Amino acid sequence: MRPLVWFRSDLRVRDNTALHEAYQAAGDGVVAAFTICPDQWREHDWAPVRVDFLLRNLRDLSESLGQLQIPLLIVKTPQFAEVPGRLLQVAEQHGCGGVWFNREYEINEQRRDERVTELFERAGKAVHGFTDQVILPPERVRTTQGKFYTVFTPYQRSWIAAVKAARESSGLRCLPRPRKQKPIPARAGTVPESVAGFEGLRRPDLWPSGEQAAGRRLESFIAGRLKAYAKARDFPAVHGTSTLSPYLALGVLSPRQCLHAVLEANGNRLDSGSQGASTWISELVWREFYRHVLVGFPRVGKNEPFDLRTRQIRWRDDEAGFRRWQEGRTGVPIVDAGMRQLAQTGWMHNRLRMIVAMFLTKNLLIDWRRGEKHFLRNLVDGDFANNNGGWQWSASVGTDAAPYFRIFNPVSQSERFDPKGEFIRMFVPELAEVEGKAIHLPRDRAVGAAKWLDYPEPIVDLKVSRQRAIEEFRRVFER
């Protein structure tokens, strides 16, 4: 048996379930493949910075596989629809008896995998799918009634109990790097330097590629910042987060590796011990929860809100306001700083993601789906389940979402989490000379600002717009 290992969002050789299991089944070597689907990626709103990060990691993966004598074949096809036939051609060309892959949970990806399964089985070839993108399969954690959870806290309790049980039985161990195999008559493909249609931001200085870079980043976070994570993670001017999300999104690092690292630092405890460790474990659970919701309630993957009542929200048509938000020119410094960080780095601090999302959906009352799409088109860590879950939470349309009447005041958030304005000055340099607390709303607070400040007035009255949003949501929720 010669397995074909189909890589997707799992660009690593260590702790890769499909690769490990294929090795166990192989009697005549392993072949690997990756499918590049530009038109599909465009339909899924992939960002240029993400595609560049993927290609760089794909080159590192090809080199790592090459050291194991495993050729990585590059298959380019516009859409997912052509993937099953092309993969079968690869399997037949290289004498592969089946395909091994790690499961993905978005709707189009699941449909693609179903067609691959059907085509391979019809050809008499084996198909093996594995849980690898998450620590527990999304359908594994259920309520006592056997239903999918819709509230995070009880989900987290059940998830922790299930992980404890799994560790006692199987250990949820991290799988080792495979051994070098004997050469086989197949040559690795060439990973392109770029993909047409995805020209734009590239930041290899911020997001170095490869498993070693991801591992070093994880080690640095655990050793240096985990202890203070619970508090430091909310301050964007402080390097207090893990910045591992791009590596998790493409599977350059596995969630199991993250869990093992934090447990080792936390005395092997899942729900106690260091506050920083417990808080970071909760973030790993949120990642699992949003995939749980995506599988249990497929409508959230079809451009629909989880809370169907919110279909009735009368979102405003405000193209000028939306453009100002996109460009970081709203006149609200913390919002503008966050949006400019996204544009310049391909990433945004999580506290700021919530602030800018609430500003768009509540203060401007613009449809959350427009913000969701804009994020995906600019994020290096673009991950559908996480991004969709975060936007629906902020917009009060999702599962276990922020109550519609609890709306972040961006100025209060700025004063609390960027008290000296360090982050604002970093990304809104035209405010560099504004002193003291005036930095948080300079047009109202800086003396003589109208005459000398090259910065716009707020595009909306925060108090009035907040009340407008509350009234609109109340109309829907209390009718």
* pLDDT score at 479: 75
pLDDT tens profile 140-154: 999 999 999 999 999
CATH number for the domain harbouring residue 241: 1.25.40.80
Across 51-65, 169-183, 263-277, which has the greatest mean pLDDT?
Answer: 51-65
Q: Per the structure block, which two tokens stand in for 414? A: 């700025």
Active-site pick, 82, 108, 286, 409: 286
Asked if residue 379 belongs to a domain, the reply is yes
Specify the range with the lowest mean pLDDT, choosing from 32-41, 298-307, 397-406: 397-406
Active-site pick, 82, 350, 409, 415: 350
Active-site pick, 347, 391, 393, 472: 391
Active-site annotation holds for 393:
no
Instruction: Quote the percentage of the chain above a pLDDT of 90.
Output: 92
CATH number for the domain harbouring residue 464: 1.10.579.10
Among all chains, which residue has been given the structure tokens 């690997």?
Answer: 32
- C-alpha 341: how far from its chain's center? 17
Verify that 342 and 272 share a domain, yes or no: no
Active-site annotation holds for 386:
no
Single-letter code of the amino acid located at 94: H
Asked if residue 450 belongs to a domain, the reply is yes
Q: Judge contact between 252 and 12, C-beta under 8 A.
A: yes
Please check the confidence at residue 325 and state whether its pLDDT lies above 90. yes
Which residue, of 104, 130, 156, is where some domain finishes?
Answer: 130
Q: Which residues of 278-288 are buried (b: 16+ CB within 10 A; e: fewer)?
A: bebbbbbbbbb
Active-site annotation holds for 102:
no
Q: Judge contact between 343 and 377, C-beta under 8 A.
A: no
pLDDT tens profile 448-473: 665 568 899 999 999 999 999 999 99
Verify that 278 and 155 share a domain, yes or no: yes
Specify the range with the lowest mean pLDDT, choosing from 98-102, 185-189, 353-357: 185-189
Verify that 85 and 156 share a domain, yes or no: no
Cβ neighbors of 448 (< 8 A, separation 6 or more) are: none
* pLDDT score at 451: 59
Verify that 47 and 165 share a domain, yes or no: no
CATH number for the domain harbouring residue 72: 3.40.50.620
The confidence band for 108, taking pLDDT boundaries of 50, 70 and 90, is very high
Verify that 397 and 260 share a domain, yes or no: no
Active-site annotation holds for 100:
no
Verify that 286 and 337 share a domain, yes or no: no
Q: Judge contact between 189 and 166, C-beta under 8 A.
A: no
The confidence band for 247, taking pLDDT boundaries of 50, 70 and 90, is very high
pLDDT tens profile 326-357: 999 999 999 999 999 999 999 999 999 999 99
Verify that 13 and 66 share a domain, yes or no: yes
Active-site annotation holds for 315:
yes
Asked if residue 180 belongs to a domain, the reply is no
* pLDDT score at 450: 59
Total tally of structural domains belonging to the chain: 3
Please check the confidence at residue 170 and state whether its pLDDT lies above 90. no
Which residue, of 268, 296, 324, is where some domain finishes?
Answer: 296
Asked if residue 223 belongs to a domain, the reply is yes
Active-site annotation holds for 391:
yes
Verify that 234 and 373 share a domain, yes or no: no
Distance CA 90, CA 314 (A): 50
Q: Taking CA 257 as the corner, what is the angle to CA 255 and CA 262, rounded to the nearest 5 degrees?
A: 95
Verify that 223 and 273 share a domain, yes or no: yes
Specify the range with the lowest mean pLDDT, choosing from 268-277, 382-391, 448-457: 448-457
Active-site pick, 82, 283, 304, 457: 283
Active-site pick, 41, 100, 325, 368: 368
Verify that 225 and 92 share a domain, yes or no: no
Q: Judge contact between 157 and 289, C-beta under 8 A.
A: no
Which residue, of 78, 113, 130, is where some domain finishes?
Answer: 130
Asked if residue 21 belongs to a domain, the reply is yes
Please check the confidence at residue 431 and state whether its pLDDT lies above 80. yes
Q: Pairing relation of β-strands 3-7 and 98-102?
A: parallel
Asked if residue 193 belongs to a domain, the reply is no
Verify that 150 and 87 share a domain, yes or no: no
* pLDDT score at 444: 72
Active-site pick, 108, 315, 415, 457: 315
* pLDDT score at 448: 63
Verify that 57 and 156 share a domain, yes or no: no
* pLDDT score at 48: 98
Residues in the chain: 479
Asked if residue 63 belongs to a domain, the reply is yes
Distance CA 153, CA 187 (A): 49
For residue 42, the enclosing domain spans 3-130
Instruction: Name the average pLDDT for the chain.
Output: 96
